[in-house]
Amino acid sequence: MELQKYFNLEEYVDKIELTDEVLSHLQRTSKSFAEYFGILSQYGNYAIYFWIDSLYKELIASSEMEGDLISLERFNNDLHISRFAISNSRIYDLHKIFIPDAPDAYRDSEVKISGKENGEEVIYWWGPEAESVIPFMKDFVKFYRTSNIELKYSNPFIKAFLVHLLFVRIHPFKDGNGRTARLLQNIKFVQLINSIYGTRLKISPLNISQNILINKPTYANRINKVQFSLDADDNIAINRFIDYLLNMVDEQLFYAKNKLLKYAETLDKWSNMYPDEELDKEAETMRLKRIFQR
Model confidence over 147-198: pLDDT tens digits?
999 999 999 999 999 999 999 999 999 999 998 999 899 999 999 999 998 8
Provide the pLDDT for residue 81: 78
Provide the pLDDT for residue 37: 87
CA-to-CA separations, 265 to 81, 271, 279, in angstroms, rounded:
28, 10, 18
Rounded to whole angstroms, the Cα distance separating 147 from 191 reads 12
Instruction: Specify which residues 122 forms β-bridges with.
Output: 115
Provide the pLDDT for residue 289: 45
Q: What are phi and psi of 156, to 5 degrees?
A: -55, -40
Provide the pLDDT for residue 260: 77
Provide the pLDDT for residue 292: 39
Provide the pLDDT for residue 41: 75
Sign of the alpha-carbon dihedral angle for 250, 251, 255, 258: positive
Q: What pTM did the predictor assign?
A: 0.86
Burial 15-38 (b: 16+ CB within 10 A, else e): ebebeeebeebbeebeeebeebbe
pLDDT tens string, the chain, 294 residues long: the values are: 679 999 999 999 999 999 999 999 999 999 999 998 887 777 666 666 666 666 666 666 666 666 554 544 454 444 567 789 999 999 999 999 888 899 999 999 999 999 888 889 999 999 999 999 999 999 999 999 999 999 999 999 999 999 999 999 999 999 999 989 998 999 999 999 999 988 888 878 888 888 898 999 999 999 999 999 999 999 999 999 999 999 999 999 998 888 777 776 666 665 665 555 454 545 444 444 444 343
Provide the pLDDT for residue 290: 46
What angle, 0 to 180 degrees and rounded to 10, lies between the N-to-C axes of helices 47-64 and 177-197? 160
Q: Which domains does the chain have, with CATH numbers?
A: 9-292 (1.10.3290.10)
